Amino acid sequence: MNKKNQKLVVANWKMNPPASKEALKTFKDFKKEFNKIARSKKREARSVITVICPPIQYIKELKKAYTGQKIFFGAQDVFYEKEGEYTGQISTEMIKDAGARFVIIGHSEKRKLGETNEIVSKKVLASLKAGLHTVLCVGEKERDHEGNYLKELIKEIKESLQDVPANLLKNLIVAYEPIWAVGEGSKSMNSEEMHFMSLFIKKQLIKIYNHSVANKIYVLYGGSVNSDNVSEFISSEGVDGVLVGRASLNPFEFAKIVSETSKANN
């Protein structure tokens, strides 16, 4: 992946849809619609890397339906041990075997269920070691006028990367998802704020590691992204892509999001 000429759009399907038949339909409709828009507007599909993270058991089937345009698959979580007595967990090798090359780690919905920075860091380490492109999610719960949310964010970034050495960062992606902007009933932040936040996150990464590695890390925005607001984020300096929840389950809307992203990159 090369930040200079490729933006990243990651779809997080969460625990949806309920059956593989619908997953396949959503995927096929998305591809069809995207190709239609790309053809009619002469957009450069190669300027975007699209990653679909469905429930892991759908990946093999979706992969079979995949031809042409570059689409990758990702898992929504991983466990840090390789194998053994860990009921319900999924290893990096299982993710690769399913056909995925990406994984989301530390999503706020996992953190809400008790995932700590310490666990997140172990997962990030295992995932990067296994060569998976690793989307680490960070983001404050709420904003305050005193700026305490920035301290919260610094702590989360530092601790979520506490086990991770600089030489493994090549495949790290940081998704900034302020929790107040994620999910039903929330509204996205604006692009100026995101510009500030992406620089702030970059600064923390430089502090923890160094300039040259930090500069290569993709920084994504996530939280109520849709086809109307995506261009704003994508054109904001320092934002290398988006992480999309709800809107990625609507194939027509998601096709527009990917297409808007490719347009902004030309």
Cβ neighbours of residue 192 closer than 8 Å, sequence gap 6 or more: 236
State in angstroms the smallest separation of the CB of 226 from ligand PGA.
Answer: 8
Q: Which stretch binds ligand PGA (CB under 6 A): 69-77, 117-125, 141-149, 220-228?
A: 220-228
Options 33, 109, 156, 177, the catalytic residue: 177
- The values of phi and psi at residue 190, to 5°, are -95, 165
The reply on whether position 74 binds ligand PGA by CB under 6 A is no
State in angstroms the smallest separation of the CB of 210 from ligand PGA.
Answer: 29
> How many binding residues for ligand PGA (CB under 6 A)?
13
Q: Which is nearer to ligand PGA, 244 or 255 (CB)?
A: 244
The reply on whether position 173 binds ligand PGA by CB under 6 A is no
Residue 126 and residue 26: Cα distance in Å, rounded? 31
State in angstroms the smallest separation of the CB of 104 from ligand PGA.
Answer: 8
Of residues 12-41, those binding ligand PGA (CB under 6 A): 12
Residue 182 and residue 141: Cα distance in Å, rounded? 10
Answer left, alpha or beta for residue 183, where phi above 0 means left and psi between -120 and 50 means alpha: left
Output Rg (C-alpha) for the chain, integer angstroms: 17
The 3-state DSSP class for residue 92 equals helix
The first and second tokens of residue 188, run together, are: 């996205």
**159 among known catalytic residues:** no
Residues that bind ligand PGA (CB under 6 A): 12, 177, 182-183, 222-225, 243-247
